[in-house]
């Protein structure tokens, strides 16, 4: 099979307002370290001729396992003090996709999304049905309390006392990749929004909203106020502008962000196409992101 020399992985660790606790040099170092680890893990797969699908899954898994991000372990809590996790994955070469929403006993929701993509005839499973499905296919379930960090518990308690919404939204994770076979893929994972209503599902697990990949256009992973990304069908809107208007990734990205902003939505995204063009945009105060290619590894947290 003909191989493409260009390989590329982009990741994000959420868009929003930087919490004060995240601006100390120790915290910045810890975030950078986790982001670099995720980039190196995913890139290692691409270097060995692995698929973009495996690369995005591996990178997101690392970030889910880090307490620093709002995905997997360390996710935000809902109004009842519970975690409810959402994730999705999409393969741009086949348009196959898998997603989970509202799961609380799965350590790595991105792996569950991949299981659903590979072993189910459905795209999306929710709650305990998703958990039971992955259990039947060999994934271990965990106690949902073990996903809660003391940091998130304290934040939730403080919010309860103040009876207000958290405005330091940050930490959803995602990845997009291009492999040596010129295939692209995308994955996103999140605990959603702090103090969300039980049962609330954001954009991350909705194909075409927070996550999308199509070799003909681009791979996208979004982060921000999920309701607006769902209403603007953000990721598909970006891809459709490339497909039907023949726009470049950069121009289509700017249009999609304008449309999001016109609804009042705040957030950002990472995207790439199969030629290796990148787009990274946000209209929040900050977004954590990073990328790695044959020349450099970059992590940015502002």
Q: Which residues are designated catalytic?
A: 172
Say how many residues touch ligand ASP, by CB under 6 A.
13
Binding pattern to ligand ASP, positions 135-174, x when CB under 6 A?
----------------------------------x--x--
Binding pattern to ligand ASP, positions 178-217, x when CB under 6 A?
------------x-xx--------xxx-----x-------
* Nearest distance in Å: CB 76, ligand ASP: 9
Smaller CB separation from ligand ASP, 12 or 107: 12
Cβ-count burial 31-68 (b if 16+ within 10 Å, e if not): bbebbbebbbbbbebbeeebbbbbbbbbbbbbbbbbeb
Q: Is 74 in the site for ligand ASP (CB under 6 A)?
A: no
Q: Tokens in use for 152?
A: 């998130």
Smaller CB separation from ligand ASP, 45 or 83: 83
Q: Which of residues 20-49 bind ligand ASP (CB under 6 A)?
A: none
Cβ atoms of 113 and 137 within 8 Å: the answer is: no
Q: Is residue 96 classed exposed, middle or buried when 0-12, 13-18 and 19+ CB atoms within 10 A define those classes?
A: middle
* Nearest distance in Å: CB 222, ligand ASP: 7
Tokens 């605990």 found at: 191
Smaller CB separation from ligand ASP, 93 or 223: 223
Smaller CB separation from ligand ASP, 108 or 183: 108
Smaller CB separation from ligand ASP, 192 or 290: 192
Answer for which of 78, 186, 215, 223 binds ligand ASP (CB under 6 A) is 223
Say if strands 267-272 and 278-282 run parallel, antiparallel, or are unpaired: antiparallel
Residues forming beta bridges with residue 173, ordered by sequence position: 189
Tokens 């189910």 found at: 120
- 37: three-class secondary structure by DSSP: helix
Cβ-count burial 6-25 (b if 16+ within 10 Å, e if not): ebbbbbbbbbbebeeebeee
Stretch that binds ligand ASP, among 48-56, 125-133, 221-229, 270-278 (CB under 6 A): 221-229
Residues in contact with ligand ASP by CB under 6 A are 14, 169, 172, 190, 192-193, 202-204, 210, 223-224, 226
């Amino acid at each position: 099979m003909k191989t493409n020399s260009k390989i590329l992985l982009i990741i994000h660790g959420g868009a929003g307002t930087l919490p004060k606790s995240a601006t100390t040099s120790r915290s910045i170092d810890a975030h950078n370290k986790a982001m670099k680890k995720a980039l190196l893990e995913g890139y290692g797969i691409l270097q060995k001729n692995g698929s973009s699908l495996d690369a995005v899954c591996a990178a997101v898994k690392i970030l889910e396992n880090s307490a620093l991000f709002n995905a997997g372990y360390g996710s935000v809590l809902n109004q009842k003090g519970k975690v409810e996790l959402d994730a999705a994955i999409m393969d741009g070469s086949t348009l196959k996709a898998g997603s989970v929403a509202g799961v609380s006993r799965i350590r790595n929701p991105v792996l569950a999304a991949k299981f659903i993509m590979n072993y189910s005839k459905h795209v999306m499973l929710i709650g305990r049905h998703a958990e039971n499905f992955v259990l039947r296919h060999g994934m271990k379930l965990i106690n949902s309390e073990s996903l809660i960090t003391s940091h998130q518990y304290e934040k939730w308690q403080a919010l309860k006392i103040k009876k207000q919404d958290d405005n330091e939204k940050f930490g959803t994770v995602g990845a997009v990749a291009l492999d040596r076979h010129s295939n692209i893929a995308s994955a996103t994972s999140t605990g959603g929004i702090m103090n969300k209503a039980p049962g609330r599902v954001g954009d991350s697990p909705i194909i075409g909203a927070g996550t999308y990949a199509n070799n003909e256009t681009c791979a996208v992973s979004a982060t921000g106020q999920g309701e607006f990304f769902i209403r603007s069908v953000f990721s598909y809107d970006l891809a459709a502008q490339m497909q039907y208007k023949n726009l470049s990734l950069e121009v289509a990205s700017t249009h999609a962000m304008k449309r999001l902003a016109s609804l009042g939505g705040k957030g950002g995204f990472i995207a790439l196409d199969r030629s290796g063009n990148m787009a990274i945009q946000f209209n929040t105060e900050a977004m954590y992101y990073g990328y790695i290619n044959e020349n450099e590894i970059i992590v940015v947290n502002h």
